[in-house]
Amino acid sequence: YLSGGSTWQATFRAAAEYIQVADSASITIVNNNRGYNYVQTINPAPAPGSLQVSYRAQGRWYDLRDNGTGALRGISAAHGSGAVDYRSGTVTITCGELPDVGSEILSPGEQRRQ
């Protein structure tokens, strides 16, 4: 109960930032799309530092991880590189080796397929 024309204001600040989970995305590798460079848009766009892209070449999996500044890097530069635009969700990668036909390039939420 307020009396005398007093005005009260309440504000709320969340204890943690709301995190959106990006949709899973994959690109199936077939003979006519096999190459070194790939582009895909993920919606909603991933949060900085949260993206991992994996691909299989010669039966071995390679992971490129987002370093939080929009650059994707592997353990070694020979594994490939890439970039993510946090506003548009566009992800570009350059594979260090040609991905295996019948495999997939996988991004958030996907499980590796053998």
CA gap 106, 90 in Å, rounded: 14
Residue 25, pLDDT > 50, answer yes
Residue among 56, 91, 40 at smallest CA distance from 70: 91
Backbone angles phi, psi at 53, to 5 degrees: -120, 130
The pLDDT tens digits for 34-83 are 999 999 998 888 899 999 999 999 999 999 999 999 999 999 999 999 99
36 secondary structure, DSSP code: S
CA gap 83, 67 in Å, rounded: 10
Residue among 75, 82, 78 at smallest CA distance from 97: 78
On whether the pTM is more than 0.85, the answer is no
